[in-house]
Every structure is written in C-alpha cells, then in structure tokens.
C-alpha cells in the first residue's frame, strides 16, 4: 500500500484521480488512511445490489450505487441506494460507527450522486415494500461520494416511474414524454427503462441464438446505397462526394445477393432508415431491423414456419429469462401476459380481414398470408394461382404489424419487369438484378422492427418508450 505523506499531497493526488468527499468521526490521520485505502486497495469487492439477500445477513459489504432518495429523522438518515433496476434501503444512525456529523453529511448528499458505502447487511422483521431488496437493509459504517450530482434535477425519478392512473387519481406528478426524451439520460436510469432495454437486449440475444442454432449466418450489409432498397419516396438522400446516395430502407437487396452467393440462410441486426413523415405511436425514421432471408426447397411456407418458430422461441425465452424485467415494467404499465400458439396461427389475408371485421383475433401473435400484389415491393413473388395476390405475409403482435415478408422474385427477367412496373431506375440496381442471372435458389424472408416487438410484447403505448434515443420527424436530439 502506498502511503500519502501529507494532507497537501493527498489533496493534489485526489484532484488528479477522482473528485471525492468523505467524512469520518475520527482524527485527520485516520481519514488519510481511509482515503489511501480507497485509492490503493485492489482487494475490495463491490457487491451488486441485487445480490443483497438474507443469505448475506450480518456480512460486511461494499456497495457502489446512486442515492435514489434520502430522509433524515433525528439521529438517523434513511437512504435508498439504486443500482440499475434494483434498490436497497440503507440506514445511517448515530452510534459506535457514525457521528451526528456523519448522519448530517449523508442526509445532504444530493439525489443521483454515486456513492461507495461500507455497511452490514441486516435482516429486517417487516418487508420493505418500496425496495426490490425487501428482506434486508444496509447499516452504513462508511460512505464516500464518488461523483456528486447537481442539486436540481430536470425530472424526479419517483415521478418518472409513477403509473399514470395513480398520478391522475391521487393528483401526484408524472412526467410527460417530451420531458423524458429531452432528458433521456436521466429517464433511462428509471427502473422501468432499465427493464425495458434489458429485455430488448434479450430479444436480440434470443434472435441471434435461435437463428444460429438453425444454421444461419450473421451478415452485415451497407447502409449507404446507390438506390432505394424498397422503392418509393420514403428514403433519405445524402451527399456522396460528387453524386447522391441513400440511407438503406432495409438490407433487402444485400440479403438476397447473399442467398445468390450460396449462404442459404442469413440474418442481420442493424439500423434501418425510413423518411416517412409519420408522427404516430409506432413510426420512427430510424429503427433497428432484425432481418432474415432463407432459401427453401419446395414452398415459401418453409421459411414462414422458420420465422414464426424464431419468434416463438424469443417469446418463450423472454418468459423464462426475463421475468424480473417483465414484472418491473408491469408495475408502471400493467398489461395482460403475451399469448401465442405453437405452431403459430396463420390466416390468409381475406380470411383474416373478415375475422377482424367480425370479432377480432384473440391470439396476440398471428400471421396474415397472401397480400394483394399491388401493396407489396417490386421484388415480391406474385401468387401463381392468382396474379392479383402475392406470396407475401405479415406477422402481428397484439394487433399491430411487426414483420413484413415475402417470397422474393428469383428470376432476372421477371425481376426486371417488376422493377420497371414500379418505376425503378434499372441502372441503379443493375448489380442486384445481375446477381440473379447466374442461378438463384428460391428464397423468402422478412424484416422485423425491434422497437415494435419490445413495445408490443410489454404492452406499452408508444414506440419511443422502446427506442433508446428515438428519431422521428420532429426529433433529432439528444
């Protein structure tokens, strides 16, 4: 252990290493030893808040967390220490290990400051309902401020996690969407946001795991492209040296080119850009696409079944691995558990529309098949039995579309005809069409919106709640 020689030396050292405050109720040399220990001890183990359980009762532990709330009462100060979506009550009380000044110091630590706390884990007689760690509390012996927050916060986290119905009934404050998004870093600290994006990470993980087990290859595709990948006007144009380029509306063309290159089954996770001037609860101008493309042997339903099974495996994995996150979000935004069948309910487009008009579809996850050809992109394969329809499909969660897919045209001549019909400049997609001239297997696929899947699985009301830093026609910051 390196020993600091003088108070002046110590202060200089601290200013170069870390901004820290401390209080001890002993003489200054003892404080020197304590701070020296903070900087030069490599043996200290910081315990995660979620691991503070009755199994650790009577153990002395170190915890690093944020001060969520503090409340002084006489010779005591109660703190709630938060670490991501987990929190624990801490008690600073006058006694052998703490003075009145230490209690006062703890009470004056600003909310959202990061602190290191040494304390004894104590089992409580009555559950602490306001904390995730309900069976224990931390009796503080030492506390250090690692990073102090400014006293005035742009929003209060207690208000940001309050259910809207509770706020309306009791007249208590809630936080509106624009305030949340303008101060997104603070809003993302709430237990609800931590749970939402923890679960969203799980969706990506399960998507990747499931498709890898199915023999798929993960690919990365260009996002700056020479032609609109979906056709139409909903595309961002960017300056590209002496010419213009576009931000990819999807990885569609490159997924198909990989199938032509004999990769057979591919998937990718990446940003997708749509220049749609839509300010609805489900539209973004940039979102994360989960894309799949697969060759098939005899019928495009082979691919439909594989995609549907992938979604089912994701739903089952979320149920199994992310119950804590689901329950945390449910406290603020209650909803019915997500319902799905295995195998997935699949209806033809006309049949599904009739059911929706009459009584609706009770299942939360289903597929509509055989859409009209006129409403699908140029690369969609027409239905050989009825050319007004197509071998295309959408997948729905809680009544909203989360995937659009189809069998793709794999004949260069038909693809040229379809592109011409849609008014697409053939020269700009020449390399794409040429990739089908040398033998291309029949194939199909689809694109899924990650933020929509997260929103609908959790029963949330706006896709901006599930986009970490959302982009829409009116928002380009933060």
What is the rounded distance in angstroms from the CA atom of residue 107 to the CA atom of residue 221? Answer: 53
d(CA 309, CA 291): 15
Rounded mean pLDDT of 36-41? 49
Who wins on pLDDT, 226 or 474?
Answer: 474
Quickly state the pLDDT bin for 358 (edges 50, 70, 90). confident
The answer to whether the CB of 93 falls within 8 A of the CB of 76 is yes
> Which residue would you say has higher pLDDT here, 25 or 437?
437
Q: Is the model more confident about 87 or about 7?
A: 87
- Nearest by Cα to 432 from 243, 248, 227, 216: 227
Which of 89-93, 233-237, 468-472 shows the lowest mean pLDDT across its residues? 233-237
Q: What is the mean pLDDT of residues 146-170?
A: 88
Question: What is residue 14's predicted lDDT score, i.e. its pLDDT?
Answer: 39
Q: How far is CA 148 from CA 87, 224, 272, in A?
A: 19, 42, 38
Which residue, 153, 255, 19, is CA-closest to 11? 19
The fraction of the chain above a pLDDT of 70, given in percent, is 89
Smallest Cα–Cα separation from 139: which of 105, 94, 74? 94
Structure tokens at 403: 């995937």
Q: How far apart are CA 156 and CA 32, in angstroms?
A: 36
The answer to whether 366 and 338 have CB atoms below 8 angstroms apart is: no
pLDDT tens digits for range 403-456: 999 999 999 999 999 999 999 999 989 999 999 999 999 999 999 999 999 999
CB distance 235 to 224 below 8 Å: no
In contact, 181 and 231? CB cutoff 8 Å:
no
More confident residue, 27 or 456: 456
Q: Note the pLDDT of residue 74.
A: 87
Residue 323 clears pLDDT 80, i.e. is over it: yes
Question: Quick one: how far is CA 467 from the chain centroid?
Answer: 7
End-to-end alpha carbon distance in the chain: 44
Give the distance, in angstroms, between the CA of residue 432 and the centroid of all CA atoms in the same chain: 33
Helix (H, G, I), strand (E, B) or coil at 264: coil
Confidence at residue 206, expressed as pLDDT on a 0 to 100 scale: 98
- pLDDT band (50, 70, 90) for residue 172: confident
Residue 34 contacts residue 142 (beta carbons within 8 Å): yes
Average pLDDT over residues 293-315: 98
Query: Taking 60 as the threshold, does the pLDDT of residue 5 lie above it?
Result: no
How confident is the model over 285-313, as a mean pLDDT? 98
Report the 3 state secondary structure along 100-166: HHHHHHHHCCCCCCEEEEEEEEEECCCCCCCCCCCCEEEEEEEEEEEECCCCCCCCCHHHHCCCHHH
Model confidence at 219: pLDDT above 90:
yes
Question: Looking at residue 168, what is its pLDDT?
Answer: 66
Assess contact for 71 and 109: CB atoms under 8 A.
no
Which segments within 351-391 are labelled E, that is strand? 365-369, 382-383, 386-390
Going by pLDDT thresholds of 50, 70 and 90, the confidence category of residue 362 is confident
Q: pLDDT tier at 359 (50, 70, 90 boundaries)? A: confident
Per-residue confidence (pLDDT) for residue 372, from 0 to 100 = 96
Closest to 89 in 3D by CA, of 71, 101, 110, 104:
71
Q: Please give the model's pTM, rounded to 2 decimal places.
A: 0.88
Confidence of residue 296 (pLDDT cuts 50, 70, 90): very high
Considering only CA atoms, give the Rg of the chain: 28
Give the CA distances from residue 221 to residues 251, 267, 272, 428, in Å, rounded to whole numbers and listed in that order: 6, 10, 11, 17
Mean of pLDDT over the chain: 90
Instruction: Kindly list the distances between the CA atom of residue 343 and the CA atoms of 307, 310, 346, 430, in Å, as whole numbers in the listed order.
Output: 11, 11, 9, 40
User: Which of 7-16, 99-108, 395-404 comes out lowest in average pLDDT?
Assistant: 7-16
- Decide if pLDDT at 3 tops 80: no
Percent of the chain with pLDDT over 90: 82
Tokens read off for 39: 């900087």
- Return the pLDDT at 33: 36
Give the pLDDT of residue 43: 73
Which pLDDT value is given to residue 15? 34
Q: What is the pLDDT of residue 361?
A: 79
Q: Are 247 and 266 in contact (CB under 8 A)?
A: no
Q: What is the mean pLDDT of residues 34-57?
A: 78
pLDDT at 173: 87
Q: For residue 88, what are its two tokens?
A: 């624990």
- Among candidate residues 49, 125, 61, the one with its CA nearest the CA of residue 87: 49
Which residues form the catalytic set?
A: 274, 276, 282-283, 401, 404, 452
One DSSP character per residue, 190-203 reads SHHHHHHHHHHHHH
- Note the pLDDT tens digit of each residue in 229-268: 666 668 999 999 999 999 999 999 999 999 999 999 999 9
């Amino acid at each position: 252990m390196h020993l600091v020689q003088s108070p002046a030396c110590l202060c200089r050292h601290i200013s170069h290493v870390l901004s820290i405050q401390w209080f001890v109720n002993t003489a200054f040399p003892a404080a020197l030893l304590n701070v020296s220990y903070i900087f030069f001890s490599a043996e200290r183990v910081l315990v995660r808040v979620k691991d503070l359980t009755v199994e650790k009762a009577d153990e002395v532990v170190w915890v690093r967390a944020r001060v969520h709330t503090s409340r002084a009462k006489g010779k005591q100060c109660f703190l709630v220490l938060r670490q991501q979506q987990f929190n624990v009550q801490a008690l600073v009380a006058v006694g052998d290990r703490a003075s009145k000044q230490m209690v006062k110091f703890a009470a004056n630590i600003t909310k959202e400051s990061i602190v290191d706390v040494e304390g004894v884990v104590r089992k409580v007689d009555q559950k602490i309902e306001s904390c995730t760690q309900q069976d224990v509390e931390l009796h503080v012996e030492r506390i250090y401020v690692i990073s102090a927050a400014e006293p005035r916060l742009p929003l209060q986290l207690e208000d940001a996690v309050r259910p809207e119905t509770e706020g309306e009934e009791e007249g208590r404050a809630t936080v509106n969407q624009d305030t949340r998004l303008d101060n997104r870093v603070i809003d993302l600290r709430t237990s609800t946001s931590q749970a939402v994006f923890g679960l969203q990470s799980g969706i990506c993980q399960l998507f990747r795991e499931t498709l890898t087990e199915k023999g798929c290859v993960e690919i990365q595709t260009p996002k700056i492209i020479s032609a609109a990948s979906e056709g139409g006007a909903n595309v961002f144009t960017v300056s590209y040296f002496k010419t213009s380029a576009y931000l990819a509306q999807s990885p569609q063309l490159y997924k198909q080119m990989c199938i032509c290159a004999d990769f057979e089954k591919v998937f990718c996770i990446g940003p997708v850009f749509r220049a749609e001037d839509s300010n609805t609860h489900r539209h973004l101008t940039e979102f994360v696409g989960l894309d799949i493309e697969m060759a098939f042997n005899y019928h495009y339903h082979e691919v439909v079944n594989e995609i549907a099974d992938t979604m089912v495996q994701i739903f089952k994995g979320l149920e199994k691995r992310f119950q804590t996150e689901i329950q945390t979000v449910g406290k603020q935004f209650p909803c019915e558990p997500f319902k799905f069948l295995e195998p997935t309910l699949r209806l033809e487009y006309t049949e599904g529309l009739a059911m929706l008009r009459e009584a609706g579809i009770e299942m939360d996850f289903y597929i509509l098949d055989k859409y009209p050809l006129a409403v699908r992109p140029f690369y969609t394969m027409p239905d050989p039995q009825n050319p007004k329809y197509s071998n295309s499909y959408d997948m729905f969660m809680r009544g909203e579309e989360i995937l659009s897919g189809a069998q793709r045209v794999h004949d260069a001549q038909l693809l040229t005809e379809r592109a011409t019909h849609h008014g697409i400049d053939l020269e700009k997609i020449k390399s794409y069409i040429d990739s089908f001239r040398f033998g291309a297997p029949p194939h199909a696929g689809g694109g899924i919106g990650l933020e929509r899947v997260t929103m609908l699985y959790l029963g949330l009301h706006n896709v901006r709640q599930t986009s970490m830093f959302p982009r829409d026609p009116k928002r380009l910051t933060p």
